[in-house]
Structure 1
Amino acid sequence: MAKEEMLEMDGTVQEVLPNTQFRVELENGASVLAYAGGRVRQNRIRILAGDRVRLEISPYDVSRGRINFRHKDERAPAFNPQRRRPIYKKKR
């Protein structure tokens, strides 16, 4: 299948499911089951509920999609950068 045939849509992650799967609500109101794409997984990009994502959807099965980008401008409301774990240094 050529990449030109894939539909690209934006949506919001509604819930995080096991096995790196996500329930995403598209801008048109439809709900899609999506998984993290290869580069998202390789670069360990964390996707949380409430994140805005761009996904590719096959025209043959519009109920499933692949997340290939997480928008940086909007984070999930539960994200708090001050709550990160401190970096521990090895004792000599």
Structure 2
Amino acid sequence: MKNYILTGEVKKNLPNATFLVFSKELNKKILCYISGKMRINYIRIMPGDVVKVEVNKISPNKGRIIYRLK
């Protein structure tokens, strides 16, 4: 099963390293968590950052942040 990779903007920080990301491509908010490599390397994500999000086809309202764009 293939996943979608979207870009979005972080709108809000939530507890337990979860974030609310708005995707213009889907035109909706996605609840995202940070991938393991980003946790290991202490990559900080703040509201307003543009990120790449991996979203499953079955549940497009949950995802995983895989990359922070500059």
TM-score calculated relative to the size of structure 1: 0.72
Give the equivalent residue in structure 1 for 2:20: 23
Query: Could you tell me how far 1:24 is from its partner in structure 2?
Result: 0.1
Q: Percent identity?
A: 35
Counting matched residue pairs gives 69
When the two chains are superposed, the root-mean-square deviation of aligned CA atoms in Å is: 0.9
Distance in 2, Cα, partners of 1:65 & 1:27: 15
Query: Could you tell me how far 1:60 is from its partner in structure 2?
Result: 1.0
Stretches of structure 1 lacking an aligned partner (at least 5 in a row):
73-92
Runs of 4+ in structure 1 off by over 6 angstroms are: none
Choose between structure 1 and 2 for higher RCO, CA contacts under 8 A separated by at least 6 residues: 2
Distance in 2, Cα, partners of 1:64 & 1:52: 17
The answer to which structure has the higher helix fraction is: 1
Give the equivalent residue in structure 2 for 1:68: 66
Structure 2 counterpart of 1:60, one-letter code: I
Structure 2 counterpart of 1:24, one-letter code: V
Stretches of structure 2 lacking an aligned partner (at least 5 in a row):
none
The answer to which structure has the higher strand fraction is: 2
TM-score calculated relative to the size of structure 2: 0.94
